[in-house]
Amino acid sequence: MSEYQTKNLMKKINYKNFPDKNGYFAEFGGKFVSETLMHPLNELLKSYNKIAKSTNFRNELKKELSQFVGRPTPIYHASRISKELGNCNIFLKREDLNHTGAHKINNAMGQAMLAKSMGKKRIIAETGAGQHGVATATACARYDLKCVIYMGSKDIQRQKINVYRMKLLGAEVISVDSGSKTLKDALNEALRDWVTNVDDTHYIIGSVAGPHPYPMIVRDFQSVIGHECKKQMKTLFNKKPNILVACVGGGSNAIGMFHPFLNEDVDMIGVEAAGLGLNTGKHAAPLNKGKPGILHGNRTYIMEDDNGQIESTHSISAGLDYPGVGPEHSWLKNNNRVKYVSVTDKEALKAFHYLTEKEGIIPALETAHALAYAFKIAKKLNKKNILINLSGRGDKDIDTVALLNRIQV
Ligand SMILES: *Cc1c(COP(=O)(O)O)cnc(C)c1O
């Protein structure tokens, strides 16, 4: 077994059977919400179970993903860097080529269609970097749904272009000034809105976080990534991947790629943001440095201090800057099925430039974390097929990168 062998061969778990009917992945997940949200969450679960079985819905979604989103996204064999880094084959699943530039649209489209089928007229969502906000605003324009996006005031400052994109698409962007003025505070506000407006409103959560059934719904809509990978690796390259690598913020692009492979002989690596370093306290790596607790309606690994206060996080990439993680990842960590590592701001920035210069692809800074770790192991391993989820494109990060480089010069 290699150093990166992460699957637990002793336990025979059928990963497709989780979460259980109460939304648990063993001790993680669940539904820790006020009484007022129990009913809407149960309604959501009922509606979702109905459409998940409906051939009509599935065909309609498939058509939308093909004609509107641009799926299937290709897999690209990055031959130039594969050669330069040693003798592994590096493959990139090109989620950056989706409409709106990242994997977020897979979930936003699915949930907007679900909301429509439930007769909802108004959509709310939270966003950090703005990618989920843009994806949701896009789906709402497509389906004629009213759209309200909650965003931390600090993120609004950092991501001006995405804020304007949302407004152009017809969304109302509400600035959240509480707490750290970032993603976790926007999520709190969105949950509050949902409690008051639940009759006509559906809340589209952007990652595999939140109370049950969200982690399951978002995972299922993102699993199109892994299903395509399985087919494409075979038909395009006649190979099987040996190692899957993806970055982990809330964990939706990672679980989307991993889930269809969980019962197969493939190693998997999730990469968290180590920020300025795991020992500096300035990072966003709850699976590496956090402990189990409750955040945003589910039990999972979180970053909290000894008084139970959520700690502030830091990452170069706004999309990874979150103190929690989807509960399924916490379970996969404790099962030893997926290995969770971390990459610093500096390493991610280096990988960002490397891919850009050597392959002509500008990745998102989130994605650059996955790339940095994959490049590191490609140098050490022999003849492995490494498949990386290229979760998004880097256009939104150009200002950040320019600023960092000027400071470093
Ligand atoms: C939002 C985002 C992420 C992080 O979210 P996950 O739910 O962990 O996937 C990663 N990459 C890109 C490009 C994103 O926009």
- Digit-coded pLDDT (tens) for 146-204: 999 999 999 998 788 999 999 999 999 999 999 989 899 999 999 999 999 999 999 99
* Structure confidence at residue 405 (pLDDT): 86
Q: Are 273 and 267 in contact (CB under 8 A)?
A: no
Helix (H) or strand (E) holding 340: strand 339-344
Q: Is the CB of 366 under 6 A from ligand 1?
A: yes
Does the CB atom of residue 222 touch ligand 1 within 6 A? no
Residues 361 and 281 in one domain: yes
Q: Which of 92, 111, 207, 220 to mutate to test the pocket of ligand 1 (most atoms within 8 A of CB)?
A: 207
If asked whether residues 188 and 248 sit together in one domain, one would say no
Domain assignment present for residue 3? The answer is no
Which strands, in side-by-side order, build the sheet including 291-295?
Answer: 24-25, 28-29, 298-302, 291-295
**Contact of 123 with 140, CB cutoff 8 Å:** yes
Tell how far the Cα of 104 is from the centroid of ligand 1, in angstroms. 7
For residue 162, is it within any domain?
yes
Per the annotation, the verdict on 104 as an active-site residue is yes
What letter does residue 6 receive in the DSSP assignment? -
127 lines ligand 1 (CB under 6 A): no
Over residues 333-383, the pLDDT tens digits come to 999 999 999 999 999 999 999 999 999 999 999 999 999 999 999 999 999
Would you state the pLDDT for residue 76?
Answer: 98
Of 200, 219, 238, which residue constitutes the final position of a domain? 219
Annotated catalytic, 46?
no
Query: What is the per-residue pLDDT for 178?
Result: 93
Q: Residue 395: inside a domain, yes or no?
A: yes
Does 10 reside within a domain? Answer: no
Residue nearest to ligand 1 atom 1, measured at CA:
319
Asked if residue 247 has its Cβ within 6 Å of ligand 1, the reply is yes
Provide the pLDDT for residue 409: 41
Q: 3-state secondary structure string, 215-245? A: HHHHHHHHCHHHHHHHHHHHHHHCCCCCEEE
Q: Ligand 1 center to residue 247 CA distance, Å?
A: 7
Residue 20 lies in a domain: no
- Tell me which of 219, 241, 269 is where a domain ends: 219
**DSSP H or E run through 64:** helix 55-64
Point out the domain boundary residue: 168, 198, 219: 219
> How many angstroms is it from 1 CA to the middle of ligand 1?
31
H helical segments located in 126-213: 131-143, 153-158, 160-168, 183-197
CB environment 228-263: b (16+ within 10 A), e (fewer): bbbebbeeeeeeebbbbbbbbbbbbbbbbbbbbbbe
Count up the domains in the chain and report the number.
2
Ligand 1: does its nearest atom lie under 6 Å from the Cβ of 251? yes
Same domain? For 163 and 81 the reply is: no
Domain match, 115 and 176 both = yes
- Which of 7, 31, 82, 126 is labelled catalytic? 126
Tell me which residue has its CA closest to atom 10 in ligand 1.
366
- Binding site membership of 315 for ligand 1 (Cβ less than 6 Å): no
User: Do 350 and 258 share a domain, yes or no?
Assistant: yes
> Are 200 and 249 in a shared domain?
no
Verify that 45 and 119 share a domain, yes or no: yes
* Greatest pairwise CA separation for the chain in angstroms: 57
Q: Is the CB of 133 under 6 A from ligand 1?
A: no
Task: Tell me how far apart the alpha carbons of residues 24 and 273 are, in angstroms, rounded to a whole number.
Answer: 26
- Pocket probe for ligand 1: among 149, 253, 296, the residue whose CB has the most ligand atoms within 8 Å is 253
Are residues 38 and 182 both part of a single domain? yes
**Residue stretches of the chain with pLDDT short of 70:** 1-11, 407-409
- On whether residue 16 sits in a domain, the answer given is no
The reply to whether 336 and 233 lie within a common domain is: yes
Tell whether 206 and 137 lie within a shared domain: yes
Catalytic annotation, pick one of 207, 317, 342, 391? 391
15-42: burial string, b at 16+ Cβ within 10 Å, e else: beebbeeebbbeebbbbebeeebeebbe
Q: What is the CATH number of the domain that holds 374?
A: 3.40.50.1100
d(CA 70, CA 67): 6
Q: Are residues 323 and 350 in the same domain?
A: yes
Q: Residue 293 sits in which domain range?
A: 70-101+223-404
- CB atoms under 10 Å from CB of 13, counted, come to 15
CB 387 within 8 A of CB 93: yes
Whole-number pLDDT of residue 1: 40
| 249 and 191 fall within a common domain | no
Name the DSSP letter for residue 67: I
- Point out the ligand 1 atom lying closest to the alpha carbon of residue 249: 8
Question: Out of 104, 181, 339, 396, which one is annotated catalytic?
Answer: 104
11 is catalytic: no
Q: Is residue 175 part of a domain?
A: yes
Q: Is residue 364 part of a domain?
A: yes
Alpha-carbon distances of 311 from 186, 224, 332, 380, rounded to whole Å: 16, 33, 23, 35
